Amino acid sequence: MLVLLFYLGDVMYTMKCEKVREVAPLVKLKEMPHTPDYFAGLFNYRGVIVPVIDLRTLIQGRPCEMRLSTRIILVDYVRDDNTPYILGLMAERVTEAVKKSEDDFVSPGLSMQEAPYLGGFVMENKEMIQHIDLDLLQNSFKFLPMLEGGNNVPDDD
Amino acid sequence: MNVTLRLKILFMVGIITLASLLGCILLIYNARVIGNSLRLETENHIKALIGRNAERIESAMLLMERNADDLATAGEAFFAICKATDQDITEQIKEYLVNNFKKLPRAIGGGLWYEPYVLFDKKRHYGPYVYRENDQVFFTWDLNTTTYDYHNQAWYRLAIPKEWDRAEERPLRIYWTDPYFDEAATKALMITVDALMHDQQGILIGLSTVDFSLEDLKEMVARMTVTPNSLPFAVDLSSGLLISFPADPSKVLRRIDDLDWGKELEQVKNVRPGEVVVNPLSLHGNNFLLFYTVTRTGTALGILAPYEELYAHINELNRSNMYTAFIVIFVQIILYLLIAVFMVRRICNPISKLTDVAQEIAEGDLTGASKSLAIIEHSSPSDKDETGRLLDAFQGMNKNLKALFGQVQRSGTQVASSSTQIAASSRQIEATISEQATSTNQASVSSKQISATASALADTMNEVATAASETADLAGSGQAGLEEMEMSMQGVLDGTESVSARLEEIKENALGIGSIVSTITRVADQTNLLSLNAAIEAEKAGEYGLGFSVVAREIRRLADQTSVAVLDIEDMVNRMEASVSAGATEMDAFSRKVSSAVDKINKTGKQLDGIMERVRTLPPRFETVNEGMEAQSQSAGQISETMNNLNIITQNTLEALREFNLAAEYLREAAQDLQDEVSRFKVS
């Protein structure tokens, strides 16, 4: 299984590539008033308006550094009514993707109420890398109005 | 040979039909065998019946003969008594006869008949006779008349012919007459047994008779009836006359030859007593069986039995067997046909239709297959048996296949577009890398220039140092050399300006390198991004993307190396800039001091000592500048080397990109093949 490696500050994180649609370079985002501080803005991805979440603000409370390697990870999601939509996740030093087997995924068996998506770890050279569960992550910003509709993924052809 | 299931089923049903036909034929054959044995049994029963009755008649007739013989012996005794005593023994004879015949119920009459005048000289006829009427025995002399004249009756003349010499021996002692109707006494049909009487000299003296009624025989014969219409009969063989025929008494005493079935009895002379012969014969279109045998007393006894009646039960049994068998065969054949039709309708037809549908699916016409399935479902009953379930399974399969191939077609299109996109991206990268290579070359050239400039600068600095030494020497040698010193100072000033100008050049070149480095960094960043996305796409392409993901990883590694190299360059350039800045600052200070020195030289030679002092302080500063220059030259050389490495990396990147292009092309071809394959299936 392919996992994406990236940093938030000095801490390395991973996520599975299954749902990752594409990694896009950081561009100027359209900011929206009266939104949570981790909501970085809107992004035009091939004609689709994609909301972008600043993962570092979400997890560490500080915005991402504006560097070349700071990129937007575009993730495919499906709403409860089975319509697909895309969400952008902003992270730092998104430069590496490695193969991992299922055995490398470990779970400490405890879940944090505030951030349930941070439950798991991936073993890399006997070090634990915190693993972000994309399915659980989705539940943390359901209240965003633009996630309720309108952001339909067009057909690829 | 192509044998359809339909033919096989019909063939099997045909074989089962033949087998049951064979079974029925065996049953019929068995019934026939049983019928034949029953027929034999019946014949044996009739034969036994005839044999028993023949024995009975025979014994009855032998009894008659013996009685006649006894009577003759008694008559001889009476004759002897009469001759010896000369008594009238008529009363004794009468008593004897009555007693005798009372004991012999089968005889209806009998008597003693003497030759003319042998017993009494005066009596021509002497024939005492008794007869039976209503079970009473009566004595009569009625036959001793001249009109009857018993000596000339046929029954008498049979034993003793006319004019026979009485002393001569007759060939037999006992004679049986032909059957005849006695009109004289008993008025009955009879046969008479004659027994000859002789005197002690052996001369014939008369005969005794016992009359055997044919009515008794008729009773015996009538007992042999086996079926209502069977005709028992008895024939006297010596005369060939029918002596008993209960079915039609009017035919009695007719010659057997005159009857149409009587001719069959011609063989009777060859039959041994006790043996029963069976002859089939046909009369007036009806079949009969003729059973007969003969007795030792010369009577043939038999039954003419109608064949049909005799074997009516057996034939009835056979016929009912046959009818039952035919009905069973007929019903079986109808049932087998129904089974065959049912199997063909419920199994063969759906299977052959579904085979056509499978053929359509094999040819890829999924739409046509689903139409055919709808027709089959509409036309066949909706039983949930195996064929019904098969039909359901086919519908499900067709539906899933349609969905699957639709999905595959869409995925194929997606893969094709992705691969095209990847190819375009890799071409873009290639262009960018080429651009990077050009930039690197430029950087290399620039750094070489810097190196050369720095070398030249170092030389100049050496010259400056020499000049400064000379200045010091000149200052040391005296004020006389002040003019010369001033000139030299001017040279120092010029050299210093030249150094300043060159330092400026180095600064500009270093700035140029900085911008090139940032271009390289951006390209490396884009390469990394593209390879990351390529890896993600490759993961999604699954098996087709395996080789592709290896190449993507390789590109990412090269991009990372580029980034590291660029970081090194950035670092060196920064250091070089710092050195240059430091050199420039020192140079400015130096320049200002030289200028003030020249001014002071121009204004006053008195301050020479001071100048000399100051000039003496110069060399260490030159050393500093020189060191800076050396460092700068070295840095430029390192930059050049790094640029060469970068160039090699870029070449590698280009090669990798070509492979990447090739892999993308293969992926595109694979996607195209997949699309071509899948497009054979019509799903809409």
* CA gap A55, A61 in Å, rounded: 9
Interface test with B, best of A3, A26, A96 (most B CBs within 10 A): A96
| CB-CB under 8 Å, A71 with B539 | no
| CB-CB under 8 Å, B417 with A156 | yes
- Chains A, B: CB contacts within 8 A come to 45
Q: Give the pLDDT confidence score for residue B684 in this predicted structure.
A: 63
The residue among B246, B287, B276 whose CA lies nearest residue B267 is B276
End-to-end CA distance of chain B: 38
Give chain A positions within 8 Å (CB) of B528: 69, 95
Q: Which two tokens stand for residue A154?
A: 């067009």
Evaluate if residue A149 carries a pLDDT over 60: no
Interface test with A, best of B418, B420, B539 (most A CBs within 10 A): B539
Dihedral of CA atoms B525, B526, B528, B534 in degrees, nearest 10, equals 170
Q: Give the pLDDT confidence score for residue B612 in this predicted structure.
A: 65
| CB-CB under 8 Å, B414 with A2 | no
Give chain B positions within 8 Å (CB) of A96: 532, 556
| CB-CB under 8 Å, B535 with A17 | yes
- The answer, for A22 touching chain B at a CB cutoff of 8 Å, is yes
Q: Residue B420's closest chain A neighbor by CA?
A: A157
* CA gap B147, B130 in Å, rounded: 19
Give chain A positions within 8 Å (CB) of B414: 156-157
Nearest Cα of chain B lies from the Cα of A98 at a distance, in angstroms, of 9
Interface test with A, best of B518, B536, B548 (most A CBs within 10 A): B536
| CB-CB under 8 Å, A22 with B525 | no
- The answer, for A156 touching chain B at a CB cutoff of 8 Å, is yes
Output Rg (C-alpha) for chain A, integer angstroms.
Answer: 15
- What is the tens place of the pLDDT at every residue in B570-622? 777 778 778 777 777 877 787 788 777 777 777 766 656 666 666 666 677 67
| CB-CB under 8 Å, A23 with B529 | yes
pLDDT-based confidence at residue A157 (cuts at 50, 70, 90): very low
| CB-CB under 8 Å, A68 with B521 | yes
Strands A127-131 and A11-16: parallel
> Across the interface, which of A22, A24, A95 has its CB nearest the CB of B528?
A95
> Across the interface, which of A21, A95, A156 has its CB nearest the CB of B532?
A95
Cα B110 to chain centroid distance, Å, stands at 94
In chain A, which among 83-102 make CB contacts under 8 A with chain B? 94-97
| CB-CB under 8 Å, B521 with A95 | no
Q: What is the ipTM of this complex?
A: 0.79
- What is the tens place of the pLDDT at every residue in A92-142? 988 888 888 888 888 877 777 777 888 788 888 888 898 998 888 887 776
Q: Give the pLDDT confidence score for residue B662 in this predicted structure.
A: 83
- What is the tens place of the pLDDT at every residue in A34-64? 888 889 999 898 888 999 999 999 999 999 9
Average of per-residue pLDDT values in chain A: 84
Helix (H) or strand (E) holding B235: strand B231-236
CB B486 within 8 A of CB B549: no
* CA gap A5, A99 in Å, rounded: 11
- The CA angle B423-B429-B435, to the nearest 5 degrees, is 145
| CB-CB under 8 Å, B413 with A23 | no
- What is the tens place of the pLDDT at every residue in A9-26? 999 999 998 889 999 998
| CB-CB under 8 Å, B556 with A95 | yes
> Across the interface, which of B529, B536, B560 has its CB nearest the CB of A20?
B536
Give chain B positions within 8 Å (CB) of A23: 529, 532-533, 536
Distant-in-sequence contacts of B1-7, Cβ < 8 A, 24+ apart: B4/B348, B4/B352, B5/B347, B5/B348, B5/B351, B5/B352, B6/B344, B6/B348, B6/B352
Q: Give the pLDDT confidence score for residue B528 in this predicted structure.
A: 84
Give chain B positions within 8 Å (CB) of A94: 532
Low-confidence ranges of chain B (pLDDT < 70): 1-2, 380-383, 472, 474-482, 484-485, 604-618, 621, 683-684
Q: Give the pLDDT confidence score for residue A156 in this predicted structure.
A: 47
Q: Give the pLDDT confidence score for residue A63 in this predicted structure.
A: 92
The residue among A18, A88, A21 whose CA lies nearest residue A55 is A88
Interface test with B, best of A20, A67, A100, A155 (most B CBs within 10 A): A20
Q: Give the pLDDT confidence score for residue B209 in this predicted structure.
A: 92
| CB-CB under 8 Å, A4 with B529 | no
Q: Residue A23's closest chain B neighbor by CA?
A: B533
Give chain A positions within 8 Å (CB) of B413: 156-157
> Across the interface, which of B522, B526, B533 has its CB nearest the CB of A22?
B533
> Across the interface, which of A97, A156, A157 has its CB nearest the CB of B532?
A97
* CA gap B341, B445 in Å, rounded: 97
Q: Give the pLDDT confidence score for residue B404 in this predicted structure.
A: 85
> Across the interface, which of A24, A97, A157 has its CB nearest the CB of B417?
A157
Q: Give the pLDDT confidence score for residue B72 in this predicted structure.
A: 92
Strands B189-198 and B174-176: antiparallel
Q: Per-residue DSSP letters for chain A?
A: -EEEEEEETTEEEEEESTTEEEEEE----B--SSS-TTEEEEEEETTEEEEEEEHHHHHHSSPPP--TT-EEEEEEEE-TTS-EEEEEEEEEEEEEEEE--GGGEE--S---SS-GGG-EEEEETTEEEEE--HHHHHGGGTT-GGGSSS-PPPP--
Give chain A positions within 8 Å (CB) of B526: 25
Q: Residue A97's closest chain B neighbor by CA?
A: B532
| CB-CB under 8 Å, A22 with B536 | yes
Q: Give the pLDDT confidence score for residue B566 in this predicted structure.
A: 75
Q: Give the pLDDT confidence score for residue B489 in this predicted structure.
A: 73
* CA gap B38, B40 in Å, rounded: 5
Q: Residue A69's closest chain B neighbor by CA?
A: B525
